[in-house]
Amino acid sequence: MADRYLISKAEVPEGAAVPELVKLRQARDEKLAAEKKQALEEKQKQRQEERAKLKERTEAYEKEYADTASELVKLRREAKLNGNFFVEPEAKLLFVVRIAGIIKMSPKPRKVLQLLRLKQLHNGVFLKVNKPILNMLKLVQPYVTYGYPSLKTVRELVYKRGFGKVNKQRLPLASNDIISDNLGKYGIHGMEDIIHEIYTVGPSFKQVSNFLWPFKLSSPKGGFINKRHGFCEARGGDWGNREELINDLLKRMN
C-alpha cells in the first residue's frame, strides 16, 4: 500500500488517476522548489549589490588614503620652505607582538598579556593608542615589541593572516558573508572595510579588532637580535617601542 504513494509525476501514466496524497506531495515539492529558487536569486542579487557597494567604498578609501598622504607631503614642504619644523601627526594605531614565553614570568604581566589576547608566542594584535593601553604595555614591555603599522602592513596582515572569531571558532575570511553576518550591523561587509576601520581607528574599531582572531606570526627571518635588551638601548635589542620600524619586523614575520 505504501509503495503507491512513492510514484513520481513522470511515472504516472497519462490519463490515470493520481492518488490525492501524491498530488499533495507533488504540490508541496513544487512550492518548496520555487521558494528555494526565489531565495537563491534574491541572495545572489543582494550579494551583487553588496559587491558593487564594496567596490565603491574601496575606491573612496583609496582616494582618502592618497589625499591624506599628499596633504602630509604638502605640509612638510611648506614647513621646509618657511624654515619651520613640521610636527608629524600622532599615531592612533599600534600593533603589538609577543616575543617571550611564560617561563619566569610573574602573574601580573601574565594577566596583562591575557587581557591583550597575547596568549602565545609570536601572537599579534591591533590596539588603539590611549592612556590605559600604554599603561598596560609598560607592565609587559620586556615581553612584547610594538610600533605603528603602515597601511601596506595592515593590508598584508589582514589578507594573509586574517581569521575571524565566530562562535569561539577560528575561521578563515574566505567569504564576505562571514564578515557581513558578524559585522554587518556596523556597516562592515568586506576585507577593505575591515582594513579601513583598523587603519583609521574608526568608531567600530573595538568590534572589528575583537572579531579578528589574534594574528599567528612566524619567527622572523634572520631571527631576533637580543630579547633580553630593549630596542632603544645602545647595545640593541628587541623588546619595546619600534615606532615605524615595526613594519620591517612584520615583513620578516608575515
CB atoms inside a 10 Å sphere around CB 150? 16
- Mean pLDDT confidence for 153-182: 90
The dihedral through the CA atoms of 189, 192, 197, 198 has a sign that is positive
pLDDT band of residue 125 (cuts 50, 70, 90) is very high
**What pTM value is reported for the model?**
0.78
CATH superfamily to which 93-253 belongs: Ribosomal protein L30/L7 (3.30.1390.20)
In this predicted model, what pLDDT tens digit does every residue of 175-207 receive, in sequence order? 888 898 898 889 888 899 999 999 999 899 999
Q: Which three cell numbers stand for residue 34?
A: 520555487
Q: Flag whether pLDDT at 52 surpasses 90.
A: no
Q: Flag whether pLDDT at 133 surpasses 50.
A: yes
CA 39, CA 46: separation in Å to the nearest integer?
10
- Mean pLDDT confidence for 153-165: 92
CB atoms inside a 10 Å sphere around CB 128? 14
Mean per-residue pLDDT of the chain: 87
Confirm if 95 and 125 have CB atoms less than 8 A apart. yes
pLDDT band of residue 222 (cuts 50, 70, 90) is confident
Residue 144's pLDDT is what?
Answer: 93
Determine if residue 117 is left, alpha or beta; phi over 0 gives left, psi from -120 to 50 gives alpha, anything else beta: left
Confirm if 93 and 149 have CB atoms less than 8 A apart. yes
Alpha helices per DSSP H over 116-225: 131-139, 151-161, 176-183, 191-199, 205-211
pLDDT band of residue 1 (cuts 50, 70, 90) is very low
